[in-house]
Amino acid sequence: MKLSFLLLATLIFNPAVAQTPESRANLNAKLDQVRTQRLAVEQALIDAEKSKKSTEQQLKRLKTLQKLQTQEKALTEQRLETLEKYLKELHVRREDVQHRIDTAKVELRLRFSKLVHPLLAQNEALLRGDEGEGEKRLKEKVISSVALSQLKDLEGMYADLQDAEDIESRIEQEKQQINSLMQDISEQESLIKFHQQIRQDLTQDKHAEHLQQLEEYRKLKVSEVEIEKMVSGFQNRQIHEHEEDRKKIPFMSFRPKSLPWPMRGKVADTYGQHKDPASGLNIFKKGIEILTMSDNAPVTAVLNGKVQYSGEIAGKGKVIILEHPHSIYTIYGGLKEAYKAVGDEVKAQESLGKMESEQPLYFEIRARNVAIDPVKWLQ
């Protein structure tokens, strides 16, 4: 009857859902490669403008850039399609577990009625207390056996209820990932149009301002791409090295509105689409910024995990990246001081570092290397 935790914990890598871990990793690797190439071409455009390279060379670079941007959008759409298939599979599995629970309830009632009621009806002496000692012990043994049988069935049903909660949590995460990728695609469409505008301006010698905007945009994206590449590497290693450990831990430990905040303060910048004042472009911010007015404010882990990175990242300052079961990662950036080193095991709400006053903490949650809205998962 019971849908085991083992089955549910391995659900994320079920080939029947969408892709094997290897094929998903290949898709992510291709996306990382295209993004890296795109950033390099954007930088070449900016550098060429500063050195006054010919318009013809710039047009060639823009043509390459548009091609890379189109590839990036197509790969992101493939990731979106994969997640949508997986979400459908989760809904089917949730219905199956609910059916198991409903069936178990009916079976419990029927079995209890068949076993206990006739026993009591046939042994009124048990209620009157006038049976012999041997008969009494026999009846107590029978009733104890019936109760134990019901208890085991109840334990099985409880496990199914936990599995149902587990699936609900995973469905919510998948919805968040789909929303994230849709916003990613929206940003990419905006950038494609922007590149087309630069190409048009080049022929009219009006491109300098747009290239300055592109430079500001690129500064924002370099750290994002670096984080994605690192997490992709950590994730691939986790798949192969920690498979058995990962199976043992239920996914329901990561549920909406269940995580403690990494720092006390107010949200100064939110996850999602924003109009960037420096570049003038619509960008998709993949994390939140939390502001504190207290100097040396502690930053704490939101889940048990292991430090996979502790160091500097351009545009993000001192950063700690924690790895958690089921390919969940949390990123803590802008730290004044980091207390943890790579390989350290940390507990939820254990101190990772501290912040300066009026310096925002950058916080991000990634599920299978897709950024999801942290606020939906924090208490």
Per-residue pLDDT, averaged over 240-262, amounts to: 65
Q: Indicate the range of 174-183, 199-208, 247-256, 353-362 predicted with least confidence.
A: 247-256
Domain annotation covers residue 49: yes
Identify the H or E element spanning 329.
Answer: strand 328-335
- Tokens 């889940």 belong to residue: 303
- Tokens 């409880």 belong to residue: 158
Per-residue pLDDT, averaged over 132-161, amounts to: 58
Per-residue pLDDT, averaged over 68-84, amounts to: 78
pLDDT greater at residue 251 or residue 337 = 337
Residue type, 210: H
111 burial via Cβ count (<10 Å: 0-12, 13-18, 19+): middle
What's the whole-number average pLDDT of the chain?
Answer: 74
Domain annotation covers residue 178: yes
Per-residue pLDDT, averaged over 254-283, amounts to: 84
Domain annotation covers residue 337: yes
Per-residue pLDDT, averaged over 119-132, amounts to: 54
Which are the contacts of 210, defined by CB distance < 8 A and separation ≥ 6? 194, 197, 198, 201
pLDDT greater at residue 348 or residue 58 = 348
Reported confidence tier of residue 346, pLDDT bands at 50, 70, 90: very high
Per-residue pLDDT, averaged over 192-205, amounts to: 67
Q: What is the dihedral of CA 283, 286, 291, 295, to 10 degrees?
A: -120
Domain annotation covers residue 119: no
pLDDT at 224 over 80: yes
Does residue 175 contact residue 88 with C-beta atoms inside 8 Å?
no
Over residues 22-37, the pLDDT tens digits come to 566 677 677 777 777 7
pLDDT at 77 over 90: no
Per-residue pLDDT, averaged over 124-153, amounts to: 56
User: Which residues are bridge partners to 329 per DSSP?
Assistant: 323, 366
Domain annotation covers residue 126: no
CA distance 62 to 181: 25
Reported confidence tier of residue 351, pLDDT bands at 50, 70, 90: very high
Domain annotation covers residue 62: yes
Q: Indicate the range of 210-214, 263-267, 271-275 predicted with least confidence.
A: 210-214
Model pLDDT, residue 7 = 32
CATH number for the domain harbouring residue 24: 2.70.70.10
Per-residue pLDDT, averaged over 129-151, amounts to: 57
Model pLDDT, residue 379 = 84
Model pLDDT, residue 350 = 97
Reported confidence tier of residue 344, pLDDT bands at 50, 70, 90: very high
Q: Indicate the range of 39-53, 55-69, 237-251, 298-312 predicted with least confidence.
A: 237-251
Residue type, 324: H
Range of the domain at 231: 5-95+169-376
Per-residue pLDDT, averaged over 1-8, amounts to: 34
Model pLDDT, residue 71 = 80
Which are the contacts of 215, defined by CB distance < 8 A and separation ≥ 6? 46
End-to-end CA distance of the chain: give it in Å, rounded. Answer: 34
> Between 208-241 and 133-203, two packed helices, what is the crossing angle to 10 degrees?
150
Model pLDDT, residue 10 = 35
Q: Indicate the range of 120-124, 212-216, 361-365, 371-375 predicted with least confidence.
A: 120-124
Q: Indicate the range of 149-153, 221-225, 267-271, 318-322 predicted with least confidence.
A: 149-153
> Could you count the other beta carbons within 10 Å of the beta carbon of residue 210?
21
pLDDT at 75 over 50: yes
Identify the H or E element spanning 241.
Answer: helix 208-241
CA distance 293 to 278: 25
Q: Which of 39-48, 78-87, 335-344 has the highest mean pLDDT?
A: 335-344
Reported confidence tier of residue 6, pLDDT bands at 50, 70, 90: very low
Its pTM stands at 0.59
pLDDT at 146 over 60: no
Which are the contacts of 147, defined by CB distance < 8 A and separation ≥ 6? none
pLDDT at 12 over 60: no
For the chain, the farthest-separated pair of C-alpha atoms sits apart, in whole angstroms, at: 109
Reported confidence tier of residue 5, pLDDT bands at 50, 70, 90: very low
CA distance 264 to 355: 11
User: How many structural domains are present in the chain?
Assistant: 1
Model pLDDT, residue 139 = 57
Q: Which two tokens stand for residue 176?
A: 């968040």
CA distance 20 to 6: 17
pLDDT greater at residue 148 or residue 102 = 102
Domain annotation covers residue 238: yes
Domain annotation covers residue 125: no
CA distance 101 to 146: 20
